[in-house]
Amino acid sequence: MKTKVRKTYNYLISILIIAATYGFIYKQLFRKRDLSATYDTFLDIFSSNWFIWMITVVFILMLLNWSIEALKWCIMIRKIERISWIRSFEAVLSGVAISSFTPNRVGDYFGRVFILERGNRIEGVLITFLGSMSQLLITFVLGTSSIFLLFMEYHAELLLYFSIPGHLYAYFLWGGGILILGLNILVTLLFLNISVFSSLTGHLKGKLLEKLTGYIDILSSYTLRELIGIIFLSLFRFVVFSFQMYLLLKIFSVDLPFFHAMIIIAVTFFVMTIIPTITITELGIRGSVALFLIGMYFGGSDIAPQSINLGIIAASTSLWIINLAIPALIGAIFVLNLKFFRKPKQ
């Protein structure tokens, strides 16, 4: 492909992605009922110095959140190409932009790799997928563990709600706890032994399958120490955006004890992760899940004060705006730096 034609195609694709990103974010922000409640709640507290200080901390944590993800991807992608942290940060935000209008954020896997100049892009997608799996692992382990803690903490209320004998509840609780522990150990071991998948695909026959195996082999190049490091970076990210949610709940006068809040927030993120979504419907789903789970602490969203329900919706919507919408809008600008068509190798 000629240089001029290649640049033209790169530019046109970038413009289409920017238009799609801004269009979907606009639709989310200005055609959703959740926003009006959030806006009205913001107006009530906007003038206080306490609010300005707290929301500033939330924005700083947003930068920290995506900085950690950029560091993680920068470290992981070194297997095929060395890039700077700044370039990794641009790639991550570009991925957020492209994922904003794709089902289950699959665009993130492909959006980042177009910043690579020499590295194999299929291997880059697999590396990005491995990084996402590490985040999913943390969400699964902490989410399921938090579900067990919730059932322990609220055993009296749940016994009354389900109208079951105490000994049956105990069997269910500890049986579920053992199952959760076993699943958590299993998924962690699977992640730490990711090279097993390369071994399994090595037995596949056929030209196309053998070529695929060659790409998957990149996953075997990560040592146990590197995989543990990736898990810890993902854990750090989880703690950061969970604390963001806690601060936003405090900002909107949804007062929860810190320990209870972090447990419920972990369950909320876990449920939002396992629900398949098309991104354009995600804001509504986030609000509904948060309202149901966090509202349980106050006796259920049906009987909780209206101010509490509005606060939960406002906190959930604000987290989406700060952690996803704003980075996507910024990332759309970085899309112009992506190279969808590269110069052919000499």
pLDDT at 332 over 70: yes
| CB 290 within 8 Å of CB 312 | yes
Tell me: the pLDDT tens digits for 299-330? Answer: 665 676 777 778 888 888 889 889 988 999 99
pLDDT at 280 over 50: no
Query: Which of 23-32, 254-263, 285-294 has the weakest average pLDDT?
Result: 23-32
pLDDT at 196 over 60: yes
Rounded distance, CA 202 to CA 219, Å?
13
Place of tokens 């809040």: 261
- Within 10 angstroms of residue 53's Cβ, the number of other Cβ atoms is 9
- Which pair of structure tokens corresponds to residue 199? 């071994």
Instruction: From 230, 236, 244, select the one nearest 62 (Cα to Cα).
Output: 244
The predicted pLDDT at position 89 comes to: 95
> What residue type is assigned to position 147 of the chain?
I
Query: Which of 74-83, 133-142, 153-162 has the weakest average pLDDT?
Result: 153-162
The predicted pLDDT at position 118 comes to: 82
In whole angstroms, how far apart are CA 188 and each of 127, 182, 185, 262, 320?
17, 10, 5, 22, 28
Average pLDDT of every residue of the chain: 81
Tell me: the pLDDT tens digits for 52-79? Answer: 889 999 999 999 999 999 999 999 999 9
- Which pair of structure tokens corresponds to residue 221? 């190049």
Rg (CA), the chain: 22
User: What predicted TM-score, i.e. pTM, was given to this entire model?
Assistant: 0.85
Tell me: the pLDDT tens digits for 219-253? Answer: 888 999 999 999 999 999 999 999 999 999 998 88
Instruction: From 338, 330, 327, select the one nearest 11 (Cα to Cα).
Output: 338
